[in-house]
Chain A
């Protein structure tokens, strides 16, 4: 919570992107291609946010980048599985 208050200007854009992603999924439930595109865009934006945030805080390391990449990949795999099975 302390971290969030200190870095509000960094977290708000991230929250905005993620909320837009959920909204897009809900509004375009019939358009599979659009849902796939939104998933990939949000995952890439999430990794990009992580890289920029840690670079600005001077604690960007390879392990941190890989962590964001793996979390994004796990999220994408879960969402893709459901989209293709729906």
Chain B
């Protein structure tokens, strides 16, 4: 009976809560807001305090990334890219560098450009490009995210590139286990030289310098042709994004439910009170619910 009275007090307009569900009082809403902020702070600092259980579990195959990339290219009337093992090794080196030095950027903290990895592995490029992705659970969502971004899409669908290398690296970044995908695009310098007709001779022209074309600069991950796990695989990982999303859905869902009950009861009992418009709050929280459902884990750079 006590529990029932508590629930009525919390969820339904009643004389005990001044004809407004306790959950909708300013004090309760403020408490919810601060409790959520506190929960986020715990999620952020948990890796430093306890066992490493936070992370994004992924099952990403470099071959799958290549297949999906070429699928998009063919759909857009472009020739597929050829998987180049040197580029893949370079992409893996870039991803490993990112994990080891804990940075999420195209250029490393010491100023190393992504093209240095091309050169270090002996890939003499005419054109070069890089796409990066992290925290995706599968190759398909990463490729879709790249395609949704104009600059990354430009890299994926550029006619200048002939070869591709993929590096997938699993590791710890800022205390959270994640999987980073490095997508290197390239055209070798020799591939881009025009072929002179046998009967003609041409005067010597200055050798053009290979130039890097960065059509998009996402964050890379580093792994050899296959996948390299830098940290030991964990049997169970809690995704910070998914737990935040689930908690958000519960909070918004409960508030929407209480608002609906509040609106029905006050309307039926013709209760007049000073307060915000139930419909306005319903509409706003409905928008928040839609946004929570739209947002997905994963970043591209």
Q: How many residues of A contact B (CB 8 A)?
A: 45
> Contact partner of A42 among B245, B277, B287, B298, CB < 8 A?
B287
Q: Does A15 contact B (CB under 8 A)?
A: yes
What is the count of residue pairs linking A and B with beta-carbon distances less than 8 angstroms?
125
A-contacting residues, B253-301, CB 8 Å = 267, 274-281, 283-288, 290-292, 294-300
Q: Does A41 contact B (CB under 8 A)?
A: no
Query: What is the distance, in angstroms, from B129's C-beta to the closest C-beta of chain A?
Result: 17
Inter-chain CA distance A11–B277, complex, in Å, is: 10
Inter-chain CA distance A54–B275, complex, in Å, is: 9
Specify the chain A residue showing the minimal Cβ separation from B287. Answer: A18
Q: Does A82 contact B (CB under 8 A)?
A: yes
Inter-chain CA distance A12–B97, complex, in Å, is: 52
Q: Does A40 contact B (CB under 8 A)?
A: no
Pair A18/B283 contact, Cβ less than 8 Å: yes
Pair A86/B26 contact, Cβ less than 8 Å: no
Pair A68/B276 contact, Cβ less than 8 Å: yes
> Contact partner of B279 among A4, A26, A75, CB < 8 A?
A4
Q: How large is the interface on B (under 10, 10 to 19, 20 to 34, 35 or more residues)?
A: 35 or more
Pair A30/B276 contact, Cβ less than 8 Å: no
Inter-chain CA distance A63–B274, complex, in Å, is: 8
Inter-chain CA distance A73–B32, complex, in Å, is: 10
Pair A30/B248 contact, Cβ less than 8 Å: no
- B66-87 vs A, CB cutoff 8 Å, 1 = contact: the mask equals 0000000000000000000000
Mind listing 23 A-B residue pairs with CB under 8 Å? A3-B277, A18-B283, A19-B287, A30-B149, A42-B287, A46-B284, A50-B276, A50-B277, A63-B275, A64-B275, A67-B275, A70-B33, A71-B276, A74-B32, A77-B37, A77-B40, A79-B292, A81-B248, A82-B248, A85-B241, A85-B297, A86-B135, A86-B241
A residues near B, CB below 8 A?
Answer: 1-4, 11, 14-15, 18-19, 21-22, 25-26, 29-32, 39, 42, 46, 49-50, 53-54, 59, 61, 63-64, 66-68, 70-75, 77-79, 81-83, 85-86
Given contacts A18-B284, A46-B284, A78-B36, 8 further A-B contacts (CB under 8 A): A15-B283, A30-B300, A64-B274, A79-B292, A81-B36, A82-B241, A82-B244, A82-B248
